[in-house]
Structure 1
Amino acid sequence: MNWYNVGKIVNTHGILGEVRVISTTDFPEERYAIGNKLSLFLGDTKTPLVLTVTSHRQHKNFDLLKFEGFLTIEMVQGFRNGILKVTEYQLSDLEGDEYYFHEIMDCTVYDLVGQEIGVVTDILQTGANDVWTVTPTKGKAHYIPYIEDVVKEIDIDKKKIVIEVMDGLLS
């Protein structure tokens, strides 16, 4: 089974069992919905603790969560530095031109004539659009904006992306 990170518990908040989460999901309203189940991985443990969300609110740059059965600060102090994850079965279907990061990572990028440029090794979120770090077998990484003018084709099953190389894009 594949697991996908949705957040990291960085601290407790208050005395009533609330935890402070740095979210890594684009869908906090869905992931942290009341009744949703999240799996907490602590340290090097292979078996997660399954938690049910009982409340969610935002505070500053954090998502604050409470879980069923965990009512005091003492009960959640051990959750600090734990990673909240969901299974592949909990992922939602996305719109036609939207992809999960794990689907784009490790895809091979080609230009319009079929010449290999490199492999997607990182995704940077800039606010306006994502930027993919494409690392060739030799040389320095390239930064490819995920915009319609550049990205022409994505085939997730074949792990293949075709882009139009605009002037200055690969320099």
Structure 2
Amino acid sequence: MKNRFLEAGQIVNTHGIQGEVKIVPWCDSPEFLCRFDTLYLGERPVKVRSARIHKGNVLALLEGVDDVNAAMALKGRTVCIDRTGVVLPEGRHFIADLIGLRVLDADSGAELGAVIDVLTPPAHEVYVVRGEHDYMIPAVDEFLVETNVEEGYLKVRLIEGMQTDV
């Protein structure tokens, strides 16, 4: 079962004396995180009074956080979003839903392992797969044949050099 709440960033510091918090976003972009009217600390909703981007981070003023002391008390906390408030474009998935998917060779049907991490360098995501061997598979159409989160698998087509434990 998919988690309703997804980790989206971490409060790493305060900003100014009015209670703003600095959030390092763990999502595709800080702009994505700024879209939300409500963030969650655990499963507790917190209204976002304002949010803006600053040096790749999000500076947010949260309801009930009115001074630097209240903001400092949140330092280190993980902020979450409610997945029901997000519509992803066709073919896109939350990274949290990809972790743990079984990875199958599209040609032979052999199970290669499971996705243990998703790297997000600038060009495109890379799936880290661990099984009998380790693989790094770029998340591009040439290598991804089918992604079926509901059924719990990913079908891939490998080329030489993707196996990383040789």
Identity of aligned residues (%): 25
2:92 alignment partner in structure 1: 98
Give structure 1 stretches of 5+ with no counterpart. 42-47
Structure 2 unaligned residues grouped into runs of 5+: none
Task: Determine which of 21, 36, 42 is the counterpart of 1:19.
Answer: 21
Equivalent residue runs for 1:2-151 within 5 Å:
2-26=4-28, 28-33=30-35, 36-41=37-42, 48-90=43-85, 92-111=86-105, 112-136=107-131, 138-139=132-133, 141-151=134-144
* Residue 27 of structure 1, CA deviation: 5.3
CA distance in 2, matches of 1:147, 1:20: 33
1:81-140, Cα deviation, whole Å (9 max, x unpaired): 0111123323x222222111122111111112101111000000111010011000x34x
TM-score (normalised: structure 2): 0.88
- Matching residue of 1:164: 157
Aligned-pair RMSD on alpha carbons? 1.8
| TM-score (norm: length of structure 1) | 0.85
Larger deviation: 70-79 or 141-150?
70-79
Aligned length: 161
Structure 1: which 4+ aligned runs deviate by more than 4 Å? Answer: none
CA contact (8 A) 1:33 1:53 kept: no
Distance 1:80 1:10 in 2: 5
